[in-house]
Amino acid sequence: MDAISVIRTKRDRGELSPEQIDWVIDAYTRGEVADEQMSSLAMAILLNGMNRTEIARWTAAMIASGERMDFSSLSRPTADKHSTGGVGDKITLPLAPLVAACGAAVPQLSGRGLGHTGGTLDKLESIPGWRALLSNEEMLHVLDTTGAVICAAGDGLAPADKKLYALRDVTGTVEAIPLIASSIMSKKIAEGTGSLVLDVKVGSGAFMKTIEDARELASTMVALGTDSGVRTVALLTDMSTPLGLTAGNALEVRESVEVLAGGGPADVVELTVALAREMLDAAGIKDADPAKALADGTAMDVWRRMIAAQGGDPDATLPVAREQHVLTAPASGVLTRLDAYAVGVAAWRLGAGRARKEDPVQAGAGIELHAKPGDTVTAGQPLLTLHTDTPEKFAYAQQSLDSAWDIAPAGTAHESTPIVLDRIA
């Protein structure tokens, strides 16, 4: 076979055969198919889609490109969670130690930022000394001794996805449902977790802009997981407004620690507890109360042990950007909209994300929110604070925020959107 014939098949809206899928994934992993050819195929998939048979085979080929992990030696049931990506979505950070504090083992394989959305590994790497890259033996040791581990997928786990994941980020093909579903589920199935809860984001700051697309993606992933013997549940959650009050790397770590200390923004706490309950239920743990474990400090204890076990210093001072710029409210009234996508793009432009897969990120870059929809604001009060080490980026970041918010006259009623929109199992 050759890459050009595979590209043409999907370009012309044909169905890729099992043999074509197996070959192109294997050849790309080995370097026989070049990045530019896989970019072309990914774009064809984005534009023309895949049917369920193709997606299942593509996922299986990604899994077959590497090894499969085994957690059967652990004394606890395993439960994992994956978010499809959002703005200010730091939920994994407090969630993994919280679920571990309630009795499950959480093997959390996470990724880096994709486009305007933040990456869990990028956030945690702002903690001095913390390591994302662990061997399988190290991962199992941390999991066994602390109950939770957050790390990068090893080179041996779905290596095809590792290459394709980075490529999608810089070629405008992140939003393709077949590629999102196969990317997430190939890693999660190969990882060997017994149960999985999916947080599928919906709204302007998500890759899925409509509830219909989110349901399609969630249903696809739930079916892939269930067919592979992984108990899989999905929550559709709102991403029209950033989660919490920060978007950026060290900024979000700081906010996550506030949540683990029993405080933090109400929306972050609500979603963390909701996902924890789903994970514990999927793992068969019925008598634990995640809200109590968050309030009484036991989740914080697990966090500190988990960070230290991966070389990090939980007491270290987090990086702070060298420059800040404050945007103020142009009028008094009620903030009725704060667009998640605009905030995400601005944080990315400030240095919290990357334009090329080899680009570094700034640990201190990002955006701090001083108001959320429903809040009353006064003209001239701080609305957003932009953080970066490179002040020449302020103007570019502000361009994405020009129409990011609406302020209605004082007294205007604001109807908030629930965080959890639907559940698919």
**Catalytic residue positions?**
82, 161, 168, 183, 187
Dist. CA 42–CA 228, nearest whole Å: 25
**First CA to last CA across the chain, in angstroms?**
38
Dist. CA 224–CA 180, nearest whole Å: 12
Dist. CA 7–CA 13, nearest whole Å: 10
Q: Are 270 and 110 in contact (CB under 8 A)?
A: no
Buried b (16+ CB within 10 A) or exposed e, 399-421: ebbeebbebeeeeeeeeeeebeb
Dist. CA 276–CA 270, nearest whole Å: 10
Q: In what order do the strands lie in the sheet with 231-238?
A: 79-83, 195-202, 231-238, 420-424
> Dihedral angle at the C-alpha atoms of 138, 140, 141, 146, nearest 10 degrees?
120
Pick the closest to residue 361 from 336, 381, 390, 341 (CA basis): 390
CA distances from 408 to 14, 327, 376 (A): 50, 18, 9
Which residue shows structure tokens 């990357």?
354
